[in-house]
Amino acid sequence: MFGFLRARRREKHLAANPIPDALWREAERLPLFIGLNDDERRRLREQAAWFLHEKTITPLQGLEIDDQAKVILAAQAVLPILNLGFDAYDDWHEVVLYPAQFVSRDRYTDPIGVVHEGEQVLAGQARPEGPILLSWLDVAESAWLDGWNVVIHELAHKLDMRDSAGHANGRPPLHKGMDAAAWKRVFSDAYHHLNRLADSGRYSPIDLYAAETPAECFAVFSEYFFETPHAVADHYPAVYEQLKQFYKQDPLLRLPRVRYRPAYEPVEFGPIWPTPAPLGYDA
Ligand SMILES: [Zn+2]
SS (H, E, C) 139-155: HHCCCCCCCCCHHHHHH
Domain presence at residue 228: yes
DSSP assignment, residue 116?
Answer: E
The rounded Å distance from CA 152 to ligand 1 centre is 10
Domain presence at residue 101: yes
The rounded Å distance from CA 215 to ligand 1 centre is 7
Listing DSSP states for 60-102 in one string gives: -TT----HHHHHHHHHHHHGGGTTT-GGGGTT--EEEEESS-E
pLDDT of residue 108: 63
pLDDT in tens, 183-239: 999 999 999 999 999 999 888 999 999 999 999 999 999 999 999 999 999 999 999
pLDDT of residue 269: 40
Phi-psi region of 91 (alpha: psi -120 to 50; beta: other; left: phi over 0): alpha
Predicted confidence band at 2 (pLDDT cuts at 50, 70, 90)?
A: low
pLDDT of residue 267: 44
Domain presence at residue 66: yes
pLDDT of residue 272: 33
The rounded Å distance from CA 219 to ligand 1 centre is 6
The rounded Å distance from CA 103 to ligand 1 centre is 15
pLDDT of residue 260: 60
pLDDT of residue 10: 87
Domain presence at residue 273: no
Domain presence at residue 90: yes
CA distance 208 to 235: 14
Distances (CA, A) of 223 to 59, 127, 153: 24, 19, 6
Domain presence at residue 248: yes
Number of domains in the chain: 1
Give me the amino acid identity at 43: R
The rounded Å distance from CA 272 to ligand 1 centre is 27
Predicted confidence band at 6 (pLDDT cuts at 50, 70, 90)?
A: confident
The rounded Å distance from CA 154 to ligand 1 centre is 6
Predicted confidence band at 112 (pLDDT cuts at 50, 70, 90)?
A: low
Range in 18-22, 44-48, 198-202, 219-223 with the lowest mean pLDDT: 198-202
The rounded Å distance from CA 62 to ligand 1 centre is 25
95 has a pLDDT exceeding 90: yes
Domain presence at residue 275: no
The rounded Å distance from CA 18 to ligand 1 centre is 32
The rounded Å distance from CA 17 to ligand 1 centre is 33
113 has a pLDDT exceeding 90: no
The rounded Å distance from CA 125 to ligand 1 centre is 7
More confident residue, 164 or 87: 87
Of residues 92, 253, 264, 279, the one with CA closest to residue 196: 279
CA distance 90 to 122: 25
The rounded Å distance from CA 214 to ligand 1 centre is 10
Range in 37-51, 225-239, 248-262 with the lowest mean pLDDT: 248-262
CATH number of the domain within which 203 lies: 3.40.390.10
CB 225 within 8 Å of CB 148: no
The domain in which residue 113 lies consists of 2-268
Mean pLDDT of 55-80: 96
CA distance 150 to 227: 11
Domain presence at residue 99: yes
249 has a pLDDT exceeding 80: yes
